[in-house]
Chains A and B, each alone.
Chain A
Amino acid sequence: MANYRELLRHVKAEIDEVDAQAARELLESAEPPFLVDVRRRDEWDEGHIPGATHIPRGSLESRIEKAAPDRDRPILVYCSAGERSAFAARTLGEMGYEDVTSLAGGFTDWKRNGFPTQVDKALDPQRRTRYSRHLLIPEVGEEGQLKLLESKVLLIGAGGLGSPAALYLAAAGVGRLGIVDADVVDESNLQRQVLHATADLGTPKVDSARAALEALNPDVDVVGYRERLTSENVDRIFGEGWDVIVDGADNFPTRYLVNDASVWHDVPVVHGSIYRFEGQTTVFKPGAGPCYRCLFPQPPPPELAPSCAEGGVLGVLPGVIGSLQANEALKLLLGIGEPLVGRLLLFDALAGELNEVAVRRDPDCPVCGEHPTITEYVDYVEFCAGVQHA
């Protein structure tokens, strides 16, 4: 029976080792080895060699095949002092990896040589718990969650659509939520606008929204714009570095204004609209797909386009559509899945049906087309009233 020292000596005699200098040369070569850090999570968090993949020693056997499917590719493995990595190298050899090398002296020696290290932004334990269900999804994971925490989403309206969208985006840990809404909470809002409560009646919606969202998740910084979006303020508000805009406006002039500004500011818009039992949602991503004007070049005359205030809306409908908008926003922020670019989703709550139609980019679109004829803000009220514009 061998003690630890004897076992280590025995293992080291079986494997290949390099010192920090040689390791660095390998890593800077034209065909660098696959670099694996087998230390514990807390050691990794304090700093590691740039480009390394973290697979703790205890998970090495189960995870290495997915991380390094090609057994012919050289692997360089390291730990803090070159002991755990020696055992790891032997294990990898037993698993059929042809060319495995251990970094003698480990990360400690690497640092002592003054070679580059990297400290990843990492979630603290409290956030690991809060976002644990995200961390378990490979498509999100820690990297995705950190991305969300650094993301900025602007919501047009904190009403029926904006309420569920804002709640889910805040819960998901989107770092900054901007909300543009000039209204105060009215009793008739509470049938569907779940961001606001009875005690908030008469309170500006941006204030009750901020209180609700920060109570839900203190990680979220809520920026309220208690103003109506206009041609005069849109550049100031849109110019604050938003990654995604969630459009839940209630009128056509704002819809067209949001569209034109988002094309010029190059920010994707997640569109949602609702009426009675039916809702629509799609994504307008400048450069990648159509814009709102490609879909609807002209709004219908007001008598053919009653608002929810006039025609009513089932309270849960904005809950469905606003949640779909949050879903699309998260996909855009994370860069995952198939965003609804060029696809308009139609939801019919009464029929219980979800349909989809194609939305194509219009090469003659006056705003996002090949030869745009609208290049600055117009009078949107006039445009939507059907008045011919010079």
Chain B
Amino acid sequence: MSVVRIPPTLRDDTRGQREVIAEGDTVRDLLDDLMTRFPSLEGKLEFANVYVDGEDVRTRDGYDTAVEPGDTVILLPAMAGGSAAESAVHFPRK
């Protein structure tokens, strides 16, 4: 059982929860369990970086990275937000 931190952009899918509990011995099992609990997450998790104990799983064994009970897992997609209020739509094309 691990605590998974949900990024703000995915909280609509977790009924607003910032942290949820998921089961699994590997990152893959954990994410599968998460999608079972919150089906609308399907198709969205692959865009998030996954950190186990502060380390990016891509630098370990990817989705096969082992998750120990009690590990904190952080899901982190890129956030664009910054200065202005305009979106990428207005970005001039080459």
Residues of chain A at the chain B interface (Cβ within 8 Å):
156-162, 181, 183, 186, 188-189, 193, 228, 230-232, 247-255, 272-278, 280, 295-296, 298-302, 304-311, 313, 318, 344, 346, 348, 350-351, 355-360, 362, 377, 379-382, 384
Residues of B contacting A157 in the complex (Cβ-Cβ under 8 angstroms): 82-84
| Interface residues of B, Cβ cutoff 8 Å to A | 7-10, 18, 44, 47-49, 51, 54-56, 58-59, 74, 76-88, 90-94
Cβ 8 A contact of B82, one of A250, A301, A311, A380? A250
Supposing A228-B92, A302-B88 touch, asked if A358 and B56 sit within 8 A by C-beta, the answer is: yes
**Are B54 and A356 in touch, CB under 8 angstroms?**
yes
Q: In the complex, what residues of B have CB within 8 A of residue A344's CB?
A: 76
Give the Cβ gap from A345 to chain B, nearest Cβ, in Å.
Answer: 11
B82 to chain A, nearest CB (A): 4
Residues of A within 8 A of B85 (CB): 159, 183, 186, 188-189, 250, 307-309
Report how far A254 CA is from B44 CA in the complex, Å.
23
Given contacts A159-B82, A274-B79, A351-B18, contact A311 B9 (CB under 8 A): yes
Q: Which of B18, B44, B82 contacts A272 (CB 8 A)?
A: B82
What separation, in Å, do the CA atoms of A346 and B9 have in the docked complex?
Answer: 14
List chain B residues, Cβ under 8 A from A275: 8-9, 79, 81
A379/B80 in contact, CB under 8 A: no
Residues of A within 8 A of B44 (CB): 300, 304
In the docked arrangement, what's the CA distance between A214 and B67, Å?
A: 53
B46 to chain A, nearest CB (A): 9
Q: Is the CB of A160 within 8 A of B83?
A: yes
Q: Which chain A residues border B8 with CB–CB below 8 Å?
A: 275-278, 311
A159 partner residues in chain B, CB cutoff 8 A: 82-85
Contacts of B88 in A (CB 8 A): 251-254, 302, 381, 384
A231 with B78: CB separation less than 8 A: no
B81 touches which of A156, A298, A307 (Cβ 8 Å): A307
Bound-state Cα–Cα, A306 to B47, Å: 14
Q: Are A299 and B80 within 8 A (Cβ)?
A: yes
Can you list the 10 inter-chain pairs with the closest CB atoms, starting with the nearest? A159-B83, A157-B83, A251-B88, A300-B47, A296-B78, A308-B81, A309-B85, A273-B79, A248-B82, A248-B83
Minimum distance in angstroms from A220 CB to a CB of chain B: 19
Task: Report the bound CA distance from A362 to B58 in whole Å.
Answer: 9
Q: Taking each of B18, B47, B51, B83, which has the highest tally of chain A beta carbons within 10 Å of its own beta carbon?
A: B83
What is the CA–CA distance of A360 and B56 in the complex, to the nearest angstrom?
8
Q: How far is the CA of A355 from the CA of B72 in the complex (A)?
A: 11
With CB as the reference atom, state the residue of chain B lying closest to A290.
B56
User: Which of A309, A318, A355 contacts B87, CB < 8 Å?
Assistant: A309
Write out the residue numbers on chain A whose beta carbons fall within 8 Å of the beta carbon of B87: 250-251, 302, 307, 309-310
CB distance from A363 to the nearest CB of B (A): 11
Inter-subunit contact B91/A247 (CB<8 Å):
no
Chain B residues, CB < 8 A from A304: 9-10, 44, 47, 77
- Return the contact of A357 from the options B76, B80, B84, B93 (Cβ within 8 A): B76
A384 to chain B: closest residue by CB: B88
Q: Are B56 and A357 in contact (CB under 8 A)?
A: yes
